[in-house]
Amino acid sequence: MSVELISLAGILLGVCTLIFLAFRGYPIFVIGSVASVIVLLFSGMNVLDALLGTYMDSFSEYISNYFFIFLLSSIFGRMMGKTGAAQSIAYKTSRLIRKKSNEKNHKFLVVMSLVIINMVLTLGGVSLFVVVFTVVEIAKELFEEFDVPWKMYTCGVLGSSSFTSTMVPGNPAIINIIPTNYLGTNTMAAPLLGMICAVVTFLLGSLYILLETKKNTKNQEGFYPTGQKIKEAALEKVTFAEQPLVKCLIPSIVLILVLNVFSASAVIALTAACFVKIVLFYKELFPNLAEVFKMGGENAMSAIVSICAAVGFGSVVASVPGYQLVINSLDSIPGPAILQLVLSFNVISAVTGSSSGGASIAFSTLGDHFTDLGLSPQVIHRVGVMSSNGLDSLPHSGAIFNTLNITRLTHKQAYKNYFMLTVVLETGMSLFAGILTLFGIV
Domain-wise residue ranges, the chain: 3-438
pLDDT the model gives residue 196: 96
Torsion of the alpha carbons at 120, 123, 124 and 125, rounded to the nearest 10:
140
- State the Cα–Cα distance between residues 328 and 322, nearest whole angstrom: 10
- State the Cα–Cα distance between residues 140 and 157, nearest whole angstrom: 16
pLDDT the model gives residue 152: 94
Q: What's the one-letter identity of residue 12?
A: L
Respond yes or no on whether the N-terminal peptide bond of residue 377 is cis (omega within 30° of 0).
no
pLDDT the model gives residue 21: 83
Q: Show pLDDT as tens, one digit a residue, over the chain (442 residues).
A: 688 889 989 998 998 888 788 777 677 788 889 999 999 999 999 999 999 999 999 899 889 888 998 888 888 888 887 888 877 877 777 777 666 655 667 889 889 989 988 898 888 877 776 677 778 877 887 888 888 999 999 999 999 888 998 999 999 888 999 999 899 899 999 999 999 999 999 999 999 999 999 999 889 899 989 888 888 775 555 556 678 888 888 998 899 899 888 888 889 999 999 999 999 998 888 887 888 898 888 878 877 888 888 888 888 988 899 888 877 777 677 778 899 899 889 888 887 777 888 888 889 888 888 998 899 999 999 999 999 988 888 777 767 877 887 788 888 888 899 999 999 999 999 999 999 999 988 8
pLDDT the model gives residue 1: 66
pLDDT the model gives residue 100: 61
Q: What's the one-letter identity of residue 164?
A: T
- State the Cα–Cα distance between residues 423 and 418, nearest whole angstrom: 7
- State the Cα–Cα distance between residues 34 and 17, nearest whole angstrom: 8
pLDDT the model gives residue 236: 56
